[in-house]
Amino acid sequence: MRRELHLCLKVFTESVFQIQSGEEDLHAGPLEIGFNAPLLVREERLSSCPDACRLAYVSDIHLRGGRSGHIAKQVIDAVCRCAANAVLLGGDLIDSSSELDSLRALVKQLARFAPVLAVGGNHDSRVGTSQVCDAVQNGGGAWIQNGSVDVRHNSRVISVCGPDFATRPTGDVRVLCAHNPRIWKTTRHAGYDLVLAGHLHGCQFVAFEFRDRLFPGAVFYPYNYLSHQFGATRLVVSRGISDLVPIRWRCPREVVLCYV
């Protein structure tokens, strides 16, 4: 424990020193106030095949009055850059029922690129899960909260399951599309190749990364990971698209492009 604390302090000190000396890793993202910076497309490779299936995971869009149009444009631009074979929406899609039409329109636009599969988050539950589900389906997407969809890619089947899917996943590649990364505790032994989650927004401020987790957020939220491998299963946690208070430091807003 003492050694780990020492390592933490060392990584933190080096991180601060780098920032003060102007050597900050720009990929990590500087201070961002507002939503002007384009979304980062972060790549996660589970397969190095040239014909790997490309899954764009988009979490925590949080459409809300006054900014839905701008955020939707940024999501469409990022998904377009991904050249995705499927778009997975990871919950917290809207913050109020006034944005149901915006969500439907966004799903309709995304469905022009690739099949759209969606699950809900805690904010969607507050609005009403059935209303959010209807908006996704009316836009041409599939609601997979307690189901699964097989995405066929060349000769392979990519099974994408929702967080309440009760059956053991099948398919050549098994993907769990979830919202809260707490699900990792019960699903890391469940036979998935990839578990996708969001919810934490990276905690918006990142001083340093240690053992796959972002600090200081991970002190309070132990699942504040970026990417973490356990046996044959990879956990990928997105830092999300937008926040209630739009201030971030070294925590870029992002779409995660997974090669499976």
The residues binding Fe ion (CB under 5 A) are 60, 92
SS3 11: helix
Q: How far is the CB of 92 from Fe ion (least distance, A)?
A: 4
Nearer to Fe ion, 60 or 99 (CB): 60
**Residue closer to Fe ion (CB basis): 92 or 99:** 92
What is the C-alpha to C-alpha distance for residues 158 and 150, in angstroms, rounded to an integer?
6
Q: Which residues contact 207 (CB under 8 A, 6 or more apart)?
A: 12, 15, 16, 215, 216, 250
Residue among 32 and 92 whose Cβ is closer to Fe ion: 92
Q: Which is nearer to Fe ion, 33 or 244 (CB)?
A: 244
> Which CB sits closer to Fe ion, 53 or 119?
119
Give whichever of 6 and 70 is closer to Fe ion, judged by the CB atom. Answer: 70
Q: How far is the CB of 123 from Fe ion (least distance, A)?
A: 6
Q: List all residues 6 or more positions away from 9 whose beta carbon is below 8 Å from its beta carbon.
A: none
Find the shortest distance in angstroms from Cβ 127 to Fe ion. Answer: 13
Most distant CA pair in the chain: distance in Å?
55
Q: How far is the CB of 38 from Fe ion (least distance, A)?
A: 20
Q: Which is nearer to Fe ion, 32 or 60 (CB)?
A: 60
Query: Least distance from C-beta 150 to Fe ion, angstroms?
Result: 28
Please choose, from the candidates 87, 89, 85, the residue with its C-alpha nearest in 3D space to the C-alpha of residue 52: 85
In the complex, the smallest distance separating the C-beta of residue 62 from Fe ion, rounded to whole angstroms, is 6
Q: What is the DSSP string of 63-108?
A: B-TTTHHHHHHHHHHHHHHHT-SEEEEES--BSSGGGHHHHHHHHH
The strand ranges marked E within the chain are 31-33, 40-45, 54-58, 86-90, 116-119, 142-143, 148-153, 156-161, 173-177, 194-197, 206-210, 213-216, 227-230, 233-237, 247-249, 254-259
Closest separation in Å from C-beta 94 to Fe ion: 11
Nearest to 254 by CA among 214, 210, 220, 219: 214
